[in-house]
């Protein structure tokens, strides 16, 4: 079994990455899951919350950059889809529903 290296969470760095819309460029790195977990843990439904903490915005950016499966997977996580239903095919199908 292949394990990804543990990447420490650096809130300041993650905030800069999110603010500068750099997440799509990091999808294939070990940093991507850390950034997604940070975003999910710090998202807010408050109207005055910063745009860069919007899961919807990040999913749209991922989709626009050709990372449809990652965008769908992110939306599954935020919509509280049970893990057993979070499949690659389901993520691809859901992304077309959410972004059309």
Residue given tokens 């910063």 in the structure block: 50
Q: Within 10 A of 86 (CB to CB), how many other CB atoms are there?
A: 14
Residue bearing the bigger pLDDT, 25 or 3: 25
Q: What is the mean pLDDT of residues 15-28?
A: 95
Q: What is the mean pLDDT of residues 48-68?
A: 90
CA–CA dist 71, 56 (Å, integer) = 9
CA–CA dist 28, 46 (Å, integer) = 31
Q: What is the mean pLDDT of residues 13-36?
A: 94
Strand, coil or helix: 82: coil
What was the pLDDT predicted at 16? 93
Strand, coil or helix: 6: coil
Q: Which of 78, 48, 77, 61 is nearest to 18 (CA)?
A: 61
DSSP string, 32-66: HHHHHHHHHHH----TTS-GGG-HHHHHHHHHHTT
Q: Tokens standing for 54?
A: 């919007």
Report the percentage of the chain scoring pLDDT > 90.
39
């Amino acid at each position: 079994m292949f394990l990804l290296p543990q990447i420490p969470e650096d809130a300041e760095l993650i905030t800069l990455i999110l603010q500068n819309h750099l997440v799509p460029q990091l999808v294939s790195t070990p940093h991507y899951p850390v950034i997604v977990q940070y975003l999910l843990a710090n998202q807010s439904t408050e109207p005055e919350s910063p745009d860069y903490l919007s899961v919807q915005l990040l999913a749209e950016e991922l989709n626009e950059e050709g990372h449809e499966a990652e965008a769908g997977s992110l939306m599954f996580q935020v919509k509280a889809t049970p893990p057993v239903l979070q499949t690659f095919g389901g993520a691809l199908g859901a992304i077309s529903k959410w972004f059309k």
